[in-house]
Amino acid sequence: MTDRITILQNATIILSDDILHGWVAVEDGRIVDIGEGRPPERGLDLEGDYLIPGLIELHTDHLESHYVPRPKVRWHPLGAVLAYDAQIASSGITTVFDSLRAGVDVDGGGLGAELIELAGAVDEARRHNLLRAEHLTHLRCEIPSPGVVEMVEDFVACYPVGLISLMDHTPGQRQFRDLTKYQVYYSGKMGKSLAEFESMVAEKQRSNGDRAAVNRPALVAIAQSRSIPLASHDDTTLEEVEQSIREGVALAEFPTTLEAAKASHAEGITVMMGAPNLIRGGSHSGNVAAETLAREGVLDILSSDYVPASLLMAAFDLPHRAPEMTLPDAIRTVTKSPASATGLRDRGEISVGKRADLVRVHIKSDTPVVRQVWRRGERII
Ligand SMILES: [Fe+2]
């Protein structure tokens, strides 16, 4: 992580609303000058490749899957963090909100008390300067889960949190409004028969509502008292969007209907959708397609969700899916917009004074290839 740079030249630079063929000068980790054509002194030749801001990822579950590579298997925490970090950085991501689940999901997932241990491994790697990307924490709170409020209180007392999201995966609503899709998802994952499935659904619906009514306001209060940006998750109906507005939500993660996305966007709530959804042409849960929201002008942010490399692919694909969007518009969905939504004002665009978090991208067979990545002017890939 040395190779300090000063000038990158012969680059196709994606600015926040324009494309420029030229050069970028970097000093002390910041962008200090940008110009068209040849630079005043010779720099590193990018051979015409794109130069874009480092990507900013708000919702990736890949840290957990490195730590739990198989059900009941736990990998070495620091080893998991380092392998995950390498995958993130090589996907062009220079700022990542590691998504950690607080509480137990309907499939029995979630780390329980190990959440703190895994966050400790990230903290250790950060303190010893072992990480390529900058890692912040996105605490994903499963609202109806017993003990979730206490778990979040313990976590925020130990480690900084950059984003809190409010999830409720109770069957029959939000992500799983369509119970047939829910059955396919969870029967496949858990091997349940139809009868077992139906009785599980009935029990979940009974018990979750009561706990959610108590836990949701408590979680909102924790976020508000610490000025942590709040995200809604899988908003589906206008009533749910109105609740998000009342709670001061800044970001709507994966709204499941066009109606909810439009209502959120109109109220200034930033709408985020999954990059895999865009690339695959639809949602794996059968909900609204990211492409539809992009065409309707209400897609603000993309997230890699469950495939880190999808973020860059989707950004370059977006202008083909939504012809109203230019390439700078598309790149903003993975750089400037996620930075703004989470209060990171020092990064997210190639502009004088911003951090020199930069990615060199070569296009081969319509596929974007990450060639080099810098964070604060230091080469990390
Ligand atoms: Fe969800």
pLDDT averages per 10-residue partition of the chain, 381 residues = 73 98 97 97 97 98 93 94 98 97 74 90 98 98 94 96 95 85 72 80 86 96 98 97 97 97 98 97 89 98 97 98 97 98 98 98 97 97 97
pLDDT at 259: 98
246 CA from centroid of ligand 1 (Å): 21
- With tokens 């047939």, the residue in question is 180
pLDDT at 319: 97
pLDDT at 107: 59
Report the distance separating Cα 110 and Cα 23, nearest Å.
Answer: 46
Report the distance separating Cα 40 and Cα 313, nearest Å.
Answer: 33
CA dihedral 273, 275, 281, 283 (to 10 degrees): -50
35 CA from centroid of ligand 1 (Å): 43
302 CA from centroid of ligand 1 (Å): 15
50 CA from centroid of ligand 1 (Å): 34
- Predicted TM-score of the model (pTM): 0.94
pLDDT at 4: 57
pLDDT at 122: 98
pLDDT at 126: 97
227 CA from centroid of ligand 1 (Å): 24
Report the distance separating Cα 143 and Cα 147, nearest Å.
Answer: 9
pLDDT at 190: 67
Q: By CB neighbour count within 10 A (0-12 exposed, 13-18 middle, 19+ buried), where does 187 fall?
A: middle
372 CA from centroid of ligand 1 (Å): 33
Q: By CB neighbour count within 10 A (0-12 exposed, 13-18 middle, 19+ buried), where does 311 fall?
A: buried
167 CA from centroid of ligand 1 (Å): 7
pLDDT at 256: 95
pLDDT at 187: 67
170 CA from centroid of ligand 1 (Å): 10
Q: Which of 145, 158, 163, 63 is nearest to 102 (CA)?
A: 145
Query: CA angle, corner 129, sides to 381 and 135, nearest 5?
Result: 75
Report the distance separating Cα 120 and Cα 123, nearest Å.
Answer: 5
Report the distance separating Cα 103 and Cα 310, nearest Å.
Answer: 27
358-381 per-position pLDDT tens digit:
999 999 999 999 999 999 999 999
166 CA from centroid of ligand 1 (Å): 10
96 CA from centroid of ligand 1 (Å): 19
Domains of the chain: 1-53+349-381 (2.30.40.10), 55-346 (3.20.20.140)
277 CA from centroid of ligand 1 (Å): 13
